[in-house]
Structure 1
Amino acid sequence: MGDAALDLLDVDDLLSDEERDVRAVTRRVVADLVRPRVADWYERGAVPVRELALEFGKLGLLGMHLSGYGCAGASAVQYGLACLELEAADSGVRSLVSVQGSLAMYAIWKYGSEEQKQQWLPGMAAGELIGCFGLTEPDHGSDPANMSTRARLSGSDWILNGGKMWITNAPVAEVAVIWARADEGVAGFAVPTSTSGFSVREVKNKLSLRASATGEITLDDVRVPVSARLPAARGLRAPLSCLTEARFGIIWGALGAARDCLETAISYALSREQFGRPIAGFQLTQAKLADMAVELQKGYLLALHLGRRRDTAELRPEQVSIGKLNNVREALKIARQCRTILGANGISGEYPVLRHANNLESVLTYEGTSEVHQLVIGQKLTGLNAFSG
């Protein structure tokens, strides 16, 4: 976990020196660049995406688990540890990195043409170009197969019409990976956001992920050349594979939010006195801390196991669903429980606990709700598809 006091099982011994180095570097940049300012970003509902992207690009954090085109080619575990440290500061900051690397960049890297890869990926890896991933729609969140966005071929161009909602990075992106229904099925497109007919409305009044740029995309007769289509993306399997890619980072990231909450709660409990003694010395407080520490260690072991599988063998979608379902759910429970230890101070922006809890409410929903992941696991257990039942 990177904190000896919380690493009750000595899980840190399972990491290599290179993995610890990645964690340490990420933790340092987060401590310098994010932690002193993130409470203000959250309060104002604004985040300097471009500044952060450039700094993260210098460290090789953007698309770090991809190879070539300026990407670092890091292992899955190294990427996971980076996500953990980023989300220990704020889920919105980790989302910036995840959407850039595991959704937008991965889609182009996996399904794009060589020309598309050369056009977009080096600049995205450097943080000079921001990407977003347009799949979710206002009326089609958990059911992307019925998306309303349409793509039709017109001569040597594609024309896109429709809308996408809750799109991270959209207000500042230079390129959007847009998924639409064509005559032959779901297709993906790398669309420059400067294209005529492409517009973005920034989503305001969020009570969660406030340190993240979120937008609603409108596509009004957006005309792009045939070369904008991702040639290897055929059918719904392509965008769903991108979601699986992004969920892996969430498995690790949620642990960072939980760890930050638990560290805060322990520190607070040791310094806060009631009835003449620190509240850390009361049995009920220690029971809460013990239960949370156990769940945090279990979640970390699960993430590490899945990371090792991804680095050495196949990581199946239902295995990713197990990790996302468990770790986000438990992280949210930890955040809420830590809030009780801080008492009334738990709702203050002076402490990160309720900010993490609010953010995790979004993390619980995006990249597949808990219910969706339960059904993925249920289908694997029974062989029966309950999504349409």
Structure 2
Amino acid sequence: MAGSPSRLFDLAVIGGGVNGCGIARDAADRGAEIRTRCRVSRLARTDGEWRIEAGGETFRARAVVSATGPAVLKLLGLADQPAVNSMWLVRGSHIVVPKLFDHSFAYFFQLPDERILFAIPYERDFTLIGTTDVDHEGRLDEVTASAEEVAYLCEGASRFFTTPVTPADVVWTFSGVRPLIGDGSGRPEAATRGYTLEMSDENEGPALLSVFGGKLTTYRQLAQHAVDKLKERVPSIDSGGWTDRSALPGGDLPVGSAEVKIAELTARYPFLERNWADRLLHAYGTTAWTILGDAASLNDCGEHLGQGLTQCEVDYLMAQEWACSKDDILWRRTKLGLHMSSVETAHLSEYLKEKAIA
């Protein structure tokens, strides 16, 4: 969400995700103004428009979309807007362990409690194991895997692999909160992963569209439905469907072309090791060429911060994908935190401090 008090925007989208950098980059490339780390403190209808207080500023909009996931009810409360739907917050946690197998296929297992467990090749040297379904009652900015969840995943994986998996093997965990639509079943695995769009009444004034439920794999269909619904209240919004024909930034790669493109990347930049080129292509697609630019040697990429992470990549992430911390870079974007040493991580932290001062 972005704006200026002197400018009236057709639409303000308030979101709460941390994994949508490609989506945000695409929106910015199409003319949206993006503000990250801009917490909404209040929103109210005033003089036929929305006034939104966020990050110490006031923004104006003809309509608001709340795509805040598990915080959707909280935002409705800030707007003094009642909710028709109820939410069921369920935490899903994953563990990462040293790789358990040497092929590129994933495993899906069914546990005695009838839940599905998966084990997926991850970041070249690891295996990703997930996931759990646990009621989440804590804060939404402190979502972590519990010891019980880690033990559950380790015990589940150990049923199927020759080498037992123990909590001591876990090198990293991550968790998220699923915003499920309450169905009263008490069984998270049975609850729908679908979504519902809740629009405020026209008699109440400017539109507030709230997204209940949904998931990453259906976000484009959800977004198209949301725009179609908003068109009824904000005629200036262009609802022409196009996302099914448009790739996200860097995603304009023919299916099955990864090996060819890796070869092209290493031919253009001979200083790249094969694993480095593979990581760049899978992380950025064709944007890898933009990041490396005219570099003819490793020195042309600026300071080498370790594990193939160079100054030019960090600078790109800061300038184009709103990264501002080592966690943004090492975990949310590149997953190089799994590979970098404590010395290399400290080196990156120092570089980011210098950039912030500059």
| TM-score, normalised with respect to structure 2 | 0.28
| Highest RCO, 1 vs 2 (Cα 8 Å, sep ≥ 6) | 1
**Could you state the TM-score of these two structures normalised by the residue count of structure 1?**
0.26
